[in-house]
Amino acid sequence: MHARPPLSDLRRRQLLAGLALPLLGARPARAQPDTWPPVPMAYAQAANADFVEPLLDLLGHAARLRWERSRLPARRVLALAEQGLALAFGLGPTPQRLGQLAFSKPVFYGQLMLISRREQPLSPRSVEDLRGRRVCVTRDASYGQELDAALGPVLRPEPTAGDLATRLRMLQGGRCDATLLTHRNDNLQQVEQRLLASGFTPEAFHIAPQPLARDPVCIAVAQQSPLRPYLDRIDQALALKRDAIRQLIER
C-alpha cells in the first residue's frame, strides 16, 4: 500500500472550508482532462447559473484548467477569495477590494437593472432620482462603486441573504420600493425570463428600460494567493474566446 502524499497547506485549508463538497444545483461540467490543474472556483448563489456554468466551461477549456466549483452565499464567496482559497467569479474591482484582491480582465460588463412594482413603476435616469427609496439588495454583494456609495446616504437598503426570488417576494410584500438585478446585457425580455424562472409573473413588475449602471464583472483572488498566477491564464483565455463569450452574453 502506497502512502498518500501530504496535503499542501492551501489544499488543507480548502478542505476545511468545505470546497471539496460538490456544487449544489448546477449541471455537470463538461469533461476535462485529468492532466489539467484543479482550481477551486466559487460564485454566488444569486448568480444566473444557466449563464455562469457554460461561461466557466468555455474559460476552463481555453485556459486548460479543471474547475472545482462551489456555488455559495455572496459573503462566503468573497471570504474565500480574500483568504486566497478559491478564485471568485462575479466580483468587481471596488476601491476597498483593490488593496487586497487581484482581478482578471473583465469577463463582461454587468448591466444593473432596477425592478419595481407595476403599480408604482420607477424609471430613474440616475441614482439621485432614487433618493430616499427603499431598495432590496443582497447582503455583502457589490453593485458597483456608485451604487455601493449610495446605499445609506441616498438609498435605504433592505439587505437579505436570499436570491432573486427572495428579493422579489420582499418587493411584492411592500418591504422595499425596488430591487436590483445584475444581468449580462440590457435585453428586457431576458430579464423577464429570469423573473419567470424565479417563480414570478413578469407582468407584476416594471423593469426600468435603461440600466442604472454598467460595471465590470471579473474573477478575483487574494494578491498573495498561490492561485493568483491562474488569473494570467484566464486573461489569455478571455482574449482567445472573446467572440464566443459575446455570443453567450447575447443569447
Q: Where are the domains of the chain?
A: 37-108+216-250, 110-214
Task: Assess if CATH 3.40.190.10 describes domain 110-214.
Answer: yes
In this prediction, residues 49-70 reach a mean pLDDT of 96
What b/e readout covers 101-130, taking b as 16+ CB neighbours within 10 angstroms?
A: bbbbeebbbbbbbbbbbeeeebebeebeeb
pTM for this prediction: 0.80
The CATH H-level (homologous superfamily) assignment of domain 37-108+216-250 is Periplasmic binding protein-like II (3.40.190.10)
pLDDT above 80 for 44 = yes
pLDDT of residue 4: 42
**Residue carrying the nine cell digits 439587505:** 159
| Grid cell listed for 28 | 455537470
pLDDT of residue 11: 58
pLDDT of residue 155: 94
The predicted-structure confidence for 17-32, as pLDDT tens digits, reads as follows 655 444 444 444 455 6
pLDDT above 80 for 203 = yes
pLDDT of residue 27: 45
Beta strand spans in the chain (E): 38-44, 66-72, 87-91, 101-103, 108-117, 134-138, 156-160, 178-183, 205-207, 213-222
Lowest mean pLDDT among 9-13, 159-163, 234-238: 9-13
Of all residues in the chain, what percent carry a pLDDT higher than 70?
87
Equal fold, 37-108+216-250 vs 110-214 = yes
The predicted-structure confidence for 109-141, as pLDDT tens digits, reads as follows 999 999 999 999 999 999 999 999 999 998 878
pLDDT of residue 31: 55
Average pLDDT of the chain to the nearest whole number: 88
pLDDT above 50 for 3 = no
pLDDT above 80 for 95 = yes
pLDDT above 80 for 81 = yes
In this prediction, residues 80-98 reach a mean pLDDT of 94
pLDDT of residue 245: 95
